[in-house]
Amino acid sequence: MAIQADLKELLSATFDRFHDGLEKEVSAEVYARLKFDFVFHMTDWQDDLAKLSDLYTHPEKWPKDKASDAVASFLIHAPWHIQHAQKLLLGDDIEATEAENLEPQRTRQ
């Protein structure tokens, strides 16, 4: 768990570094939520990355069906999170992201 906490601390610091001064432009609540979302989007696919890394490092130990599952899982799960993390880090559409995080989310019917 210490590794996970260390990772989240580094990711939080990364967000802070790229958004120096943003905390003066938005409320503390909004800034904290944007940072939380960035860290979430950078860590939610961590297990998929670990499996893919192991597959790349030790392909000989992976049966074809498990390898296919690992590749598909990464490709289905990670890109969406990476795209959102990139937007949060680079400040792309920050107002839209703020509104998205603060508005009630509609559920599928």
Q: Is residue 8 part of a domain?
A: yes
Residue 107 is predicted with a pLDDT of: 36
Taking only the tens place, the pLDDT of each residue in 88-99 is 999 875 554 555
Q: Could you tell me the pTM of the whole model? A: 0.80
91: left (phi over 0), alpha (psi -120 to 50) or beta: left
Residue 52 in domain: yes
Task: State the total domains in the chain.
Answer: 1
pLDDT average, residue stretch 71-87: 96
Residue 108 is assigned to a structural domain of this protein:
no
More confident site: 60 or 94: 60
Q: Do the domain assignments include residue 57? A: yes
- The residue range of the domain holding 63 is 2-102
Is 109 part of any domain?
no
Whole-number percent of the chain with pLDDT over 90 = 70
Q: How many helices (H) and strands (E) does the chain have?
A: 6, 0
Tokens of 87: 């937007």
Q: Measured between alpha carbons, how far is 96 from 77 in angstroms, rounded to an integer?
A: 22
